[in-house]
Structure 1
Amino acid sequence: MSKTLSNKDNLKVVYEDNHIIVVNKRAGDIVQGDKTGDTPLSDVVKNYIAVKYNKPGNVYLGTVHRLDRPTTGLVIFSKTSKALPRLNKLFVSKDISKTYWALVKNPPEKPSGTLVHWLKKNPKNNKSRAYKKEVPDSKKAILHYKILKKLDNYYLLEVNLETGRHHQIRVQLSTIGSPIKGDLKYGFNRSNKDASISLHARNITFIHPVSKTDLNITAPLPKDPIWDACL
């Protein structure tokens, strides 16, 4: 993918306060800079803050977590050094609840269930492989899913992660015969037109790291007829 974010007008902010900012990432955007040299989402958020608040000099921004490049949905950034370690702690202690929506052509055998695998990452091809039992250098991966809706040609799954592993949802669903729509890397038979995969970080709930208020944030779905049919 060569798509880049160039200015604040491309940014979709769904929540913002003094300490955190949550954006709805588009397919193709990278959260942090990599070897491609494409403009990362973190730089665009910094630019947005600098312009909106007329901040001179360097803008502080902490990256709390990431989403795969072809995935859409919620990404949290920290606007203050006070909030960043607290947000990091929430992720480590699993006190942030993340819900994903995924479109698959082949439904899981059961309408709901829990998937447990051991995942091993291959850095050479940036791909993970799932095993039924623990193997050397593997990490345990757990997710919970349920079928939310049957569409004409696809099924909408809701997925909740118990662990956060490399390409976890993609590889675990593929392993049970339900690869995500558009995900060529993990077994779907054709790509989406925009090179996305139909995996969306839909909802995040957590206690604000500074104000201690309950936050429940939902990301609008990508503009697409199939996603439209999910609502």
Structure 2
Amino acid sequence: MRLYSFQDQQAVDAINALGDDTMMFSDYSKSHLYNNGGVNQEIIFEAYRWMAEKLAQKTDIYMDTEHGKIPPLPWWAWYKVDGKCEEPFDEYEMTTWGREDLKRVKTYLLTLDVPDEIVLLSDINAFYNCLQGQPCFDYLSEEDEEKARDDFDGKVRQLMQTHDKQLGEELEKIVYDSWENVFIVDGTRRLKTIETDVPFMPMIEEKYDVQAAFPIMMKRFVKDIKVVYE
């Protein structure tokens, strides 16, 4: 599967240093994406952990640690941008994500050929629900989505008042079950109107983008490397 991944100098150096048959997991300790998130770090990381578990279920690839085998946090790449399988524009570069200083660093675009069987595709705009700890009702009709969200919000308010354990478990199931929708990548998700802080100026979602998660990097996956930001 042809994928495109933006990486910084540190990642590129590590990939270039790999042996021909050596595989490398994503280094959690050096990843701004996984280590930073401000006040929402715990919520954001839960979405990444969930994706890692789904990826491990598909690939049966786990990382050996002192605590036993665990699903590795994914490497990320682009599969489709604006609905097309093509090289992404520079605006899709994400090496600043998770950086508290928002500082841009030297960035490379890697063209990859990764075996289909170890790639898990998802709709990135739907995945933003997961990163916010919210249910993903995006694939419902506009009317049904509004009803589902109203029902969910009502149950949350009820939980805040009653602290009912069974209701809490029900809400958790609703959230995680709905997250499965992010794996629908056939373009059927309704592009949405997103409310902004600017009165009467909502943002109309225009692009359909598919991200790719995969558990390991190998030198032979890399078909081309080019600098996109010095």
Q: Which has the higher helix share?
A: 2
If asked which structure has higher relative contact order (CA below 8 Å, sep 6+), I would say 2
Same fold at TM > 0.5: no
- TM-score class, shorter-chain normalisation, is under 0.3
